[in-house]
Chains A and B, each alone.
Chain A
Amino acid sequence: MSSRPAPQIGFSFEYMMWIFTRISGLVMYLLAFIGIVMAFVMGARQQVDIGALARWTFFPNPNHVVDTNIPDVTLGWSNAWWQVMEMLMLFFAVTHGLNGVRVVVEDYMRNSWARALGRGVIFLLWIFMLIFGIYVILAS
């Protein structure tokens, strides 16, 4: 009797976001780890200070490490690798964070209209931050 069929529960937005929160948390650690390792490989081990290293980890913008000897400082985000890295970090951080705010809205807004409004504002904010972030990455 223990061989009961696995239940098919269909699509659940709450479940998708719950699992996304966990996976994106791990992915952000991975991206930060790759950033830190690459900074060291590029020469940060000789000169970069801890603050610059932290900024590089979460926001690999060459302006953050100008006073260090990371060699491709001048390349900026025109380097496709760092563009992709930063876009991934942007997507996961913004979506992870705003989903957290959405959960607060779902928890604490009792009126269905207020909840709908909260969700709408968060969705627009999400779109705006992604577009604006991508623009900054590509234009700088």
Chain B
Amino acid sequence: MEVTLRIFRYNPENGKKPHYEEYKVTAEPTDRVLDLLEYIKGNFDGTLSFRRSCAHGICGSDAMRINGHNRLACKLLVKDLHGGKITIEPILGLRVIKDLIVDMEPFFENYRSVLPYLINDEPAPKKERLQSSEERERFDDTTKCILCACCTTSCPSFWVNEQYVGPAAIVTAHRFIFDSRDRGAAERLKILSGQFGVYRCHTIFNCTEACPREIEVTQAIGEVKKAIATGDLG
């Protein structure tokens, strides 16, 4: 099938303003959007820049805005876009460096601000810190995050102010707050109850819609709000 790709282009070194360029390619319905980008880069324009690494939906490198929705280019098939025209843009809310590549630093700064690691100063047991299946299940959903930034850059609160920690950072915080082995919940909840914490979330649900790992992001944020309100880490 014939597909037209309309791709956002910007190169700070060539003096041109940001603009869109169109490329017509022949694609199989089962091709991934990433395949088309690779084809264009290989055959039409080698300067087209985008991030990609594993190409299998795990590394989280190729998040982009495809037909207005944040998606991983490596997980989205042409047939699922239901049309011959595909618009590809960089994810919103972060500075564009070149073409589809954005500066992820504000995103990772927010990520680091919620202490994304296990905190436990108690003396370690001889073998390991044990955890029951139920205790592991409690935060299973939020362990799936691959930090692709699809959720955070689909969030209107983040678009307005990148100081807002954003859904991805809250998901990570959730993963540790509800981990029975962790002892840093109070510290994280204090950070998230602040001015740029969970209360900038207005349950718009864009994050849940965008998540390529199908994490219930808004629910996780709700659970963190509840933990702040009740102190219950169950």
- A14 touching B161, Cβ below 8 Å: no
Whether B190 contacts A14 by the Cβ 8 Å rule is no
**Which residues of chain A are within 8 angstroms of B232 by Cβ–Cβ distance?**
6
**What is the CA–CA distance of A110 and B163 in the complex, to the nearest angstrom?**
9
**Which interface residue of A19, A103, A106 has the most chain B CB atoms within 10 A?**
A106
Contact partner of A1 among B131, B189, B193, B195, CB < 8 A? B131
Asked if A139 is an interface residue, CB under 8 A from chain B, the answer is no
B123 close to A (CB within 8 Å): no
With known contacts A14-B194, A14-B197, A106-B200, A2–B227 Cβ distance under 8 A: no
Please report the C-alpha to C-alpha distance between residue A131 and residue B157 in the assembled complex, in whole angstroms. Answer: 34
Q: Is B229 an interface residue (CB 8 A)?
A: yes
**Would you call A15 and B227 a contact (CB within 8 A)?**
no
CB-CB < 8 A to B180: which residues of A? 1-2, 4
Q: Report yes or no: A7 in contact with B233, Cβ–Cβ below 8 A.
A: yes
Question: By the criterion CB–CB under 8 Å, are A15 and B200 in contact?
Answer: no
A128 at the interface (CB under 8 A from B): no
CA distance A6 to B200 in the complex (A): 24
CB-defined contacts of A10 to chain B, threshold 8 Å: 190
B68 within 8 A of A: no
B193 touching A12 by the CB < 8 A rule? yes
* B195 and A106 contact, CB distance less than 8 A: yes
Residues 1-25 of chain A: 1 if any B CB is under 8 Å from the residue's CB, otherwise 0? Answer: 1101011111010110111000000
A7 touches B157 (CB 8 A): no
Please pick, from B131, B193, B202, B233, the residue contacting A6 in the complex, using a CB distance under 8 A. Answer: B233
What is the count of residue pairs linking A and B with beta-carbon distances less than 8 angstroms?
62
Q: Check: B55 CB closer than 8 A to any chain A CB.
A: no
Cα–Cα, bound, A1→B125 (Å): 13
Which of A2, A9, A110 has its CB near the most chain B CB atoms (within 10 A)? A9
| Interface-centre pick from B130, B181, B193, B234 (highest chain A CB count, 10 A) | B193
Closest approach, in angstroms, between the C-beta of A127 and any C-beta of chain B?
A: 22
Interface string of B178-203 (1 = CB under 8 A from A): 00110101100110011101011010
Closest to B195 in A: A14
| B4 CB to nearest chain A CB (Å) | 36
From known contacts A4-B180, A110-B160, infer whether A9 and B195 are also in contact, taking CB-CB under 8 Å: no
B42: chain A residues at CB < 8 Å are none
- Find the B residue at minimum CB distance from A6: B231
B-side contacts of A106, CB under 8 Å: 195, 200
Q: How far is the CB of B203 from chain A (nearest CB, A)?
A: 12
In the complex, which residue of chain B has the Cβ closest to the Cβ of A15? B193
In the complex, B76 has a CB within 8 A of chain A: no
Known: A7-B190, A107-B202. 12 other contacts (CB 8 A): A2-B135, A4-B185, A6-B232, A9-B186, A10-B190, A12-B193, A12-B228, A18-B199, A106-B195, A107-B161, A108-B160, A108-B161
3 closest A-B pairs by CB: A6-B231, A7-B186, A12-B193
A residues neighboring B (CB under 8 Å): 1-2, 4, 6-10, 12, 14-15, 17-19, 103, 106-108, 110
